[in-house]
Chain A
C-alpha cells in the first residue's frame, strides 16, 4: 500500500511539474487540484487521503494499554458515534472540562480512555485517526455555534488571535483572509471564513505531498508569516478553528468531500 502510494506521489509530482511548465497563463489552483485528483483516480483508483483514513480506521479500533479502543470515546454525539461529529467541533467536553477540536479530542481520549502516555502518542497517528473520523462528516453542513460560556470565551480568543499583527512580516490572519479574500498568494487562493475557510481539512495537498489537518494548516500559515508555529492541541488552534468555523456556520457553508484533495 505504502509503495503504491509513494509511486503515485512521484508520478503526481512529475505530472504537476510538466503541467506547470507548459502553462503560460496563471493556473487556476482549484481546476489544477481537480485535474490532479482525477489523474490519481484514473491511474490508481484511490486517493492519497483515503489511504490515511484507512490507516486511521485501523488505529481507531486498536486497543490501548487500558484494553479499550476509541469506540469508548465521546467525540461530541455520544460514545461510538462518528456520523457528523466533525461538523459540530470544536465544542466543550464536560469530562476534560475543555473546549476541544477533533485532533485535541483524539489526543485526550488516547490518554484518558486508552491509557497512552503523552510521549507514546505519535502525531501521524492522531492525524490518521482525525482523518478517519472527519470522513464521516464529508459534505456535512458546518454547525459550530458557540453556546457554552467556555465556547464563547474560546470564540473571543480566536477573534483576538485572528486580528493580532506580529512578527517580522507584520501579518495577522485577518489582513489577508478578510481584506484580501478572493485574491491569491502566489498561486494559492485566499478565502475568508465567510467564504467557508476551513471547510477542506483534513486534506491531501499535492503541492506539499502531505496530508494536512486543520491544525497543520494553521501552523503552515503561521510559518509562512514568520511566526513560530504553535504547539499542537493548544488553545491557539482550538480558538482559531472555533472562530473560523463559527463564522463559516453563519454563512451556511458545508465541508468538502473529506478528506479533501487540494493544492
Chain B
C-alpha cells in the first residue's frame, strides 16, 4: 500500500517535472516579453523547422535530416494552372521588392544592378541551365521552400511564409530562366 503510494507520488512528481518549462527557457521567454508584446509574439511562434534550426544552431543531426526534408517538401504548393514558369516581368518586380523576394539582399541578378549582396550565389545568366522540366521544377521548389533542399539554409522559405504566391513563384522562375529575361541578357 505504502509502496504504491510512493510510486504514484513519484510518478506525479516526474510528470510535473516534465511538464514544467526549464528555468533557462522560462528566463528566456521573460526576456522576450521584456522586448514587448509584438516582438515576443513573433519570436515565440516559431514553426517546427525554425525551432529545430535554432536548437541545433543550424546544423541538424544526420538522423533528423530525411524527416526534415520530407516535411519541408510537403509544404510546397503549386499554381492551380500547373504552369511553373510564369511572366518574367512580374517576376522581376517580386525579385526586387524589399518586402517580398528581396533577392538582391543576397544575390547578384541583372548585370547592371551593382547594389547586390554576396551571401548567395550569383544568379546572373541563371538561364544557362536551360528550361528542361527538371530545371524548372527544381528552381520553383527551391524558391518556394529552400529548406526542402538545404535544412536551415540562409535562404528563406518565401513561398511557405506567403511573401509571394505560387503564381508569383512561377513568375520568379521565369525571371531566372526565360531567355528574354534581363538576367540572361549579355
Residue ranges of A at the interface with B (Cβ–Cβ < 8 Å):
23-27, 153, 156-157, 160-161, 163-172, 174-176, 179-180, 183-187, 190, 222, 227-231, 234-236, 239
Stretch of B3-11, B33-41, B73-81, B86-94 with 4 or more beta carbons under 8 angstroms from chain A? B33-41
Are B28 and A157 in contact, CB atoms less than 8 angstroms apart? yes
Given contacts A23-B114, A166-B50, A171-B156, contact A186 B104 (CB under 8 A): yes
Is B58 in contact with chain A by the CB < 8 A criterion?
Answer: yes
Contacts A26-B114, A174-B58 given; indicate if A169 touches B119 (C-beta within 8 A). no
B21 on interface, CB distance cutoff 8 Å: no
- Complex interface: chain B residues within 8 A of A26 (CB): 114-116
The reply to whether B34 and A236 form a contact with Cβ atoms under 8 Å apart is yes
Q: Which of B96-120 contact A (CB under 8 A)?
A: 104-106, 114-119
Question: What interface size band does chain B fall in?
Answer: 35 or more
Any A CB within 8 A of the CB of B32: yes
Give the distance in Å from the alpha carbon of A167 to the alpha carbon of B49 in the complex: 12
Stretch at the interface among B60-68, B135-143, B157-165: B157-165
In the complex, which residues of chain B have a beta carbon less than 8 angstroms from the beta carbon of A176? 119, 154
Contact: A156 with B119, CB < 8 Å?
Answer: no
A165 to B147 Cα, complex, angstroms = 13
Interface SS of A by simple majority: loop
CB nearest neighbor in B for A189? B118
21 CB < 8 A contacts A-B = A153-B27, A157-B27, A157-B28, A163-B54, A167-B42, A169-B161, A169-B163, A170-B49, A170-B157, A174-B57, A176-B154, A180-B154, A183-B117, A184-B118, A185-B117, A185-B119, A186-B104, A190-B119, A228-B41, A231-B36, A236-B34
Bound-complex Cα distance A183 to B42 (A): 27
Output the residue of B28, B31, B42 with the most chain A CB within 10 A. Answer: B31
Q: CA A183 – CA B118 in complex, angstroms? A: 6
Tell me which residues across on chain A come within 8 A of B117, comparing CB atoms: 183-186
Beta-carbon contact of B36 and A24 below 8 Å: no
Q: Is the CB of B53 within 8 A of A165?
A: yes
